[in-house]
Structure formats: C-alpha cells, structure tokens
Amino acid sequence: MADNPAPRARPLMDIATFKENFGEIWAKQTYLCYEVEVLEGDAWAPMEERQGFLRNQGADTPWEPRRHAELCFLDRVRSWRLDRGKHYRLTWYISWSPCPDCAPELVTFLRENSHVSLHVFASRIYSFFSGYERGLRDLQDAEAQLAIMTLKEHQHCWETFVDNQGQPFEPWPNMEEDIRAHSQELEHILRNPEN
C-alpha cells in the first residue's frame, strides 16, 4: 500500500487503463497524470486539489472536438487562474511525449507564464510524424524539463493515480531495457539540433 494514498475525492485510473497506456501495450490514447506544487519559502508544497489525470478527447467520442491531452491540460490550468505572484511547478507523467502540434502551444504557454515551470516524464516518445524532434528541443529551450519515466515514476503513478486496490506495482518484462532505449533516444534528440 502507498505511504500517501490518493485522496478519495478525485477519480483514479483503473489498473487496465494504466497498464495499456503506460505499460508495454502502447495504446493509441494519450493519458496525462499531473501534479501541481507551489513554492513556499524554499520548499515545494503539493496542491492536492490540483492533482489528477486526463486523456485526449474526441478519438472515441464523436460529439467532442478532437483535442490532445496536453491541450486539455492547458485549458484546465488556465481555468485555475494561478496567482502570478507565486511560482508553480507542473509535473506531468504522460504516456506519449508531446507531438509536433502540441509542442509549440506548450512553448507559448511557458513563455507567457514565467511563474510556471513544467517537468514532463514521458513513458515513450511520440515519433509518428516529422518535426517531433524539433518540438521536443523547443520545449527544452523554453526551459521545460524532459525525461523518460523510470521505474520510480511508474511506481509513483501507480500509487498516486491508479485504483491499484492495494496491489504493488509490478514492472513488465524488459521494462528497464525499454526505459534505457527511450532515454537514450530522448537524450540524442535533445543534444543533436540537426535532427
């Protein structure tokens, strides 16, 4: 059982959804788990009411316009009207890294909101369309912190965002090798502007 169980007031992701989207199955949906912290003195304080998860919209609901998870989150954070006199850290655990269409909108958001920093932990890299490398480098240039989710981040998501019913997190076969491969790919992208 997690040391800090998730508050029951907010919805939790079911186990199958987590495994399908953050595990080895590679579902086509994008899920984004998020946490918001505010700087109080020298320490970051969690804002538990600003913690949850969402997914892209419209792929399986024809009545909704299509919108990627990252942009759905931007809609949500804008509605919070965060105090510009304070500094906030947004941490994402996302099943796919931002795509080439979302990256510019995230860069614009970060440049317009200097009181907000963004840390992105991606389960895998979205590399389906050209331009994804440039988008990731632009995010890094806008001071977003980008990394691949390690075992630690997967376990944190399991304990914080998943209705795990007291089950411990179990890594999938070859998980550490997958993490190493994705991490090397991301490092190569961020260090090589000619991509």
Q: What is the pLDDT of residues 66-95, one digit of tens each?
A: 789 999 999 999 999 999 999 999 999 999
Average pLDDT score over the chain: 90
> Is residue 106 one of the residues assigned to a domain?
yes
Is 70 part of the annotated catalytic residue set? yes
Q: How far apart are CA 170 and CA 155, in angstroms?
A: 8
> Is residue 9 one of the residues assigned to a domain?
no
> Is residue 47 one of the residues assigned to a domain?
yes
Please give the tally of structural domains in the chain. 1
> Is residue 7 one of the residues assigned to a domain?
no
CA nearest 13: which of 4, 26, 22, 24? 22
Contact 74, 109 (CB under 8 A): yes
The model carries a pTM of: 0.90
Contact 193, 137 (CB under 8 A): yes
CB half-sphere exposure, 4, CA atoms < 13 A: 7
Contact 22, 156 (CB under 8 A): no
Q: Is the confidence at residue 6, as pLDDT, over 60?
A: no
| CATH, residue 168 | 3.40.140.10
Q: Is the confidence at residue 1, as pLDDT, over 50?
A: no
* Structural domain for 25, as ranges: 15-191
> Is residue 5 one of the residues assigned to a domain?
no
> Is residue 62 one of the residues assigned to a domain?
yes
Marked catalytic residue, from 35, 70, 133, 153: 70
